[in-house]
A and B are shown apart, each in its own frame.
Chain A
Amino acid sequence: MALRCVVVTPERTQLDREAEYISLPMFDGELGVMNGRAPMIGRLGYGTMKLQTAAGPERYYIDGGFAHVEGDVVNVLTGKAIPVDLLDSEEARNALQEALELPASSPEESQIKATAVMKARGQVRASR
């Protein structure tokens, strides 16, 4: 039996399909999900989600959010999910450059900067 992967963004349900194996980009590293995983709620980072489907592998860039695994359904809540082929590596690199130039003179500012850098790095890595 296969897993069902549902990716929901605020605009629409972007993806709803069966997969044998899903690799999620969690906040602190990758997490593989196969059928029969214990129920889980996790925080997603910025990175690539990999699906192993009957039609072949698929890769999406995930922009933070949450993963909710229950039974054989994996719900992914994210701001955007972009197929990796559609990412622009030039743009991602520029975003990283901008993020690195942000000020970090107070704890709050440095946290904002760290998030921006993390996000841009995830995009650069995914667009390769």
Chain B
Amino acid sequence: MANARALDKRRKSIRNIRKITRTMELIATARYKKAMDRAHAVTAYTDRLSQIVSSLSAAGTEVDHPLLQPRDNPKAVRVLVLSSNRGLCGGYNAGILRAAAPRIRELADSIGNVTVDVSGKRGINGLKFRGIQTAETYLQFEDQPAYDEVEKIASGFLDQYITGQFDRLEVVYTKFISTSRQEATIETLLPFGSLDEGESVSADATVDSQNANQYEFLPTAESILEEVVPTSFKAKLFKCFLDAAVSEQVARMIAMKGATESAGEMISQLSMTYNRARQSQITGEIMEIIGGVEALKG
């Protein structure tokens, strides 16, 4: 039977770890709520944007923009991988890397010229370990990515795309579906797929079509469209960053919850072993005394 003192020491250290993981869980919960609020705020923006798009199309404007047209025979591809700066968030970063690495290899085989940008320390190290060269790395994105920072990156991408430095932009990030489901996804952001995000938007558009005709477009509908497409792209990229941030906090919350629970289980198991060890020690000592008494009698 193990030494009772050693068992007690171990139990104490596990208790300390449990305290830490519980605190981390609470912090992740608070951050998750904040990140979630921001993700909701961006929908207010995108909703209004799609409202403008639907009134534009209802007014009979041809939705046509260089960013919307797919390019034949892409020669260069850019991949942006969104991971986290910190660990202890379960399978979050592993999931991202598992999606990103094969995709990058596949693109390298089929197209050849692949440039990889990474956000987050974990992703940088993970890709380095897998032997994938990275171009730009970003470390400034935590649980609340700032639109200013994202916009800089987005404008950089737009400029490079328009000047033909690459023909496709793919983003690998963790899509937040619900609190219990986040998925590592690969999305092609450039060429920009379509302006209407969901079915609901087009449904609204038909209802609004009578109202939409009465809008005055300043300076012209075409000029507005010219601006709508890049703006939607920026908003979408920002949404990717926000989704990644929310998913990271959820992943950490769940991982830390699991850690706290297993620490609790371990403590109760160790307590039992400790009590048994203590009891057997006492029994041993009593036996020794009884043995001594018996010896003296005889």
Contact = CB atoms under 8 A, between A and B. Distances in A.
Interface residues of B, number: 35
B55 A13 contact: no
Interface in A1-27: 8-13, 26-27
Contact of A66 (B146, B162, B227): B227
B224 A42 contact: yes
A112 B162 contact: yes
A66 B218 contact: no
Contacts of B51: 68
B227 A41 contact: no
B41 A41 contact: no
Nearest to A67: B218
Interface in B202-232: 211, 214-219, 223-224, 226-228, 231
B224 A43 contact: yes
B138 interface: no
B48 A9 contact: no
B218 A11 contact: no
Contacts of A111: 162
A55 B83 CA distance: 46
A95 to B, nearest CB: 12
Given A11-B147, A65-B231, A42 B217 contact: yes
A112 B165 CA distance: 14
A38 B146 CA distance: 35
B52 interface: yes
Interface string B164-180: 10000000000000000
Contacts of A43: 218-219, 223-224, 226-227
Interface in A75-128: 75, 77, 79-80, 106, 108-109, 111-112
Nearest to B162: A108
Interface in A22-79: 26-28, 31, 38-43, 64-66, 68, 75, 77, 79
Given A79-B234, A109-B163, A10 B227 contact: no
14 contacts: A8-B44, A10-B234, A10-B238, A26-B219, A28-B218, A28-B219, A39-B214, A40-B217, A41-B52, A42-B224, A43-B218, A66-B52, A80-B147, A108-B163
Interface of B: 38, 41-42, 44-45, 48-49, 51-52, 55-56, 146-148, 151, 159, 162-164, 211, 214-219, 223-224, 226-228, 231, 234-235, 238
Given A8-B44, A41-B216, 10 more contacts: A10-B235, A26-B219, A28-B219, A38-B216, A39-B211, A40-B216, A64-B227, A80-B148, A108-B163, A111-B162
